[in-house]
Amino acid sequence: QQPVQSPQAVILREGEDAVINCSSSKALYSVHWYRQKHGEAPVFLMILLKGGEQKGHDKISASFNEKKQQSSLYLTASQLSYSGTYFCGSEGAGGTSYGKLTFGQGTILTVHP
């Protein structure tokens, strides 16, 4: 089963913050976050392993709650370049699910000046 993302779309003004959520019904080994701009391939942002760690990259950070099988992506002080579709990818924790990477339906983020 693919992970479920919310919200489906977010509209921001430059400098505002946003949170994108990702949840799974299955036990997860890792969560991956990607951003895709129109007509381009998805680009890796960060990966989180089970253990509840939080990672950050510039003004974009993420958390992973293993028990709840949820991850959140935090975008602070948004910039125009943050616009795009954000996908979370989940990697299962056991059996053939380990190594299998499935993606959510995406969250469209639009940042206006």
Nearer to another protein, 17 or 53 (CB): 53
Quote the tokens at residue 16: 């505002």
Residue 16 or 63 having the CB closest to another protein? 63
Shortest Å distance, C-beta 15 to another protein: 27
Question: Which positions lie near another protein, rule CB under 8 A?
Answer: 2, 5, 29-30, 32, 34, 40-44, 47, 49, 87, 89, 96, 99-106
Q: From residue 104, how far is each of 16, 61, 79, 80, 112 by CA, in Å? A: 24, 18, 23, 23, 25
CB of 1 to another protein, least distance (A): 10
Angle at 24 between CA 15 and CA 29, to 5 degrees: 95
How many Å apart are CA 87 and CA 12, to the nearest integer? 18
| Minimum gap (Å) between residue 54 Cβ and another protein | 14
